[in-house]
Amino acid sequence: MAYFCQQCGECCSVMGQVFSIVRQLDEFRFLFRNEYTGDTREVEVALPLRRLFLESKVPAHWQNPCPFLRLDNAQGLAFCTVHLTRPDICREYECWRILILDEEGRRVARVMERRYLCLEDEGLRGEWEEFHKSLDTPDDRVWDEAVIRFFRDRGLHVRV
């Protein structure tokens, strides 16, 4: 299935170390720079997100967020307020290959990169670690299938 983003904001919550605002051009337009590559681009806060951009507070648990990340508390969703003009690396970023959700659609785990499992349900940690130790295959497809089976056997929904 096609990748979709759950708008948790996690990935952008550390991007303050990568991106910075070089100059404000008007109330909602900014020159924005990637400090690693030196690329600079103009970004604009999208019309429907302007109020959120101006009024919402950055949550304390976001240590170093991108200056354009905002949390809508009512919806519990994070928004990139410059979504339409965001940099290419933001457009290309996908945080999972395999997504594991519970009955309510909450994220339980993600397989990121080739074989990195980011487990968010600590109740499964022990079982996962035992299982992971026994997963001894050089074949990535077999590894994926075994991981998918592990979660499906526990009644969880797996999206690939």
**Which residues in this chain contact ligand SF4 in the complex, by CB under 6 A?**
5-12, 15, 19, 66, 68-69, 78, 80, 82, 86-87, 90, 93, 95
Query: Which residue number, 98 or 146, has a Cβ lying nearer to ligand SF4?
Result: 98
Query: Which residue number, 94 or 127, has a Cβ lying nearer to ligand SF4?
Result: 94
Query: Which residue number, 42 or 129, has a Cβ lying nearer to ligand SF4?
Result: 42
Q: What minimum distance in Å lies between the beta carbon of 69 and ligand SF4?
A: 4
Alpha carbon 119 to its chain's center: 14
Q: What minimum distance in Å lies between the beta carbon of 118 and ligand SF4?
A: 9
Q: What minimum distance in Å lies between the beta carbon of 142 and ligand SF4?
A: 26
Q: What minimum distance in Å lies between the beta carbon of 29 and ligand SF4?
A: 14
**Contact yes or no for 33/19 (Cβ under 8 A):** yes
Query: Which residue number, 52 or 80, has a Cβ lying nearer to ligand SF4?
Result: 80
Give phi and psi for 59, each to the nearest 5: -60, 145
Q: What is the DSSP letter of 75?
A: T
d(CA 54, CA 51) in angstroms, rounded, equals 5
Q: Token match 């001894």: residue?
A: 136
AA letter at 149: R
AA letter at 153: D
